[in-house]
Amino acid sequence: MTFNLLKATILTVLFSFLATISFAQSNYFKWSWGLGGGANYSKTDVVDGNWGYTATGEINYHFTPFITGGVEAQYGMVQGGDIVTDPHNRQFINKYTSITANLKLHLGEFIPYERRPFLEAVKGLYAGIGVGAISNNITDIVRYKPSWAAFDPGYGPFPGEDKSINLLVPVNLGFNYYLNDGYGYVRYVINFNAQSNFTFGEGLDGYNDPSTKFKNYDPDTFNVYSIGVKYFFGNIKAYRKFF
- The helix or strand, by DSSP H or E, that contains position 7, with its residue range, turns out to be helix 2-23
pLDDT tens, residue by residue, 52-70: 999 999 999 999 999 999 9
Residues in the chain: 243
**Res 111 pLDDT > 60:** yes
Distance CA 13, CA 17 (A): 6
> Is the pLDDT reported for residue 22 higher than 60?
no
* Predicted local distance difference test score (pLDDT) of residue 3: 47
Residue 185 has a pLDDT of 86
Among 3-7, 11-15, 85-89, 162-166, the range with the most confident prediction by mean pLDDT is: 162-166
pLDDT at 19: 44
For 201-234, the pLDDT digits (tens) are: 999 999 998 777 776 667 899 999 999 999 999 9
What does the pLDDT read at residue 25? 52
pLDDT at 15 > cutoff 50: no
Per-residue confidence (pLDDT) for residue 217, from 0 to 100: 64
The answer to whether residues 170 and 197 touch, using CB atoms and an 8 Å cutoff, is yes
Q: Residue 240 has what pLDDT?
A: 76
pLDDT at 218: 78
- pLDDT tens for each residue of 73-86: 999 999 999 999 99
Radius of gyration (C-alpha) of the chain in whole angstroms: 25
- Nearest CA-CA partner of 165 in 222, 197, 204, 131: 204
SS3 label, residue 118: helix
Return mean pLDDT, the chain: 89
Nearest to 44 by CA among 192, 147, 166: 166
Q: Which of 219, 233, 221, 205 is nearest to 59 (CA)?
A: 233
In the chain, the domains with their CATH numbers are: 29-240 (2.40.160.20)
Angstrom distances, CA of residue 224 to CA of 19, 204, 220: 44, 14, 14
Higher pLDDT, 92 or 185: 92
- Say what the pTM is: 0.86
- Cβ contact 126:174 at 8 Å: yes
Residue 153: cis peptide before it, omega within 30 degrees of 0: no
> What is the pLDDT, as a whole number, of residue 238?
85
Quick one: what percent of the chain has pLDDT higher than 70?
A: 87
**How far apart (Å, rounded) are the C-alpha atoms in residues 138 and 96?**
8
- Residue 79 to residue 94: CA distance in whole angstroms: 6
SS3 225: strand
Q: pLDDT tens for residues 137-189?
A: 999 999 999 999 999 999 999 999 999 999 999 999 999 999 999 888 899 99
